[in-house]
Amino acid sequence: MAQMTHSRSTAPRDKGLGHWRWQRISALATLGLMVYFAYMVARIGPMDYAAAAAFVAVPVHALGLVVLLVAGLFHAALGVQMIIEDYVMLAQGRQRFVRLSQGVFMLLAVAGLAALTVITGVI
């Protein structure tokens, strides 16, 4: 690692590292929970509605889905931001596209969390 930490830039050393760092953190969280999610999908596959709803409503499963939703959508937003920043020029409204994609992922997170609160019957 040592050879990568020396910057000759005058910018603060950790400035701009946030995206990179959060991408790794959310990736680890998503990776672990996706394995768990695959297990859940396999279990839910043959179930009928009542059994599926009850299965998702189990606190551990619901909590796993909540964290997966947040971490996964956060990771997706960071990744899509990278793609937009690579292929859309500033003059073409790059920032607006990034904000738009973030809004879409935020909406998805809200929708997913709302669905989970309904399924678990928290509210």
- Cβ neighbors of 93 (< 8 A, separation 6 or more) are none
CB of 56 to other proteins, least distance (A): 6
Taking CB under 8 A as the rule, does residue 76 contact other proteins? yes
- Quick check: 61 and 30 in contact, CB under 8 A? no
CA distances from 59 to 64, 86, 120 (A): 8, 40, 8
Q: Which stretch binds other proteins (CB under 8 A): 10-18, 92-100, 105-113?
A: 105-113
Distance of alpha carbon 93 from alpha carbon 97, whole angstroms: 6
Taking CB under 8 A as the rule, does residue 25 contact other proteins? no
* Residue closer to other proteins, measured from CB, 53 or 88: 53
Distance of alpha carbon 97 from alpha carbon 84, whole angstroms: 7
Taking CB under 8 A as the rule, does residue 22 contact other proteins? no
Eight-state DSSP code of residue 12:
-
Residue ranges in contact with other proteins by CB under 8 A: 1, 3-4, 24, 27-28, 31, 34, 38, 42, 45, 49-50, 52-53, 56, 65, 69, 72-73, 76, 79-80, 83, 105, 108, 111-112, 114-116, 118-119
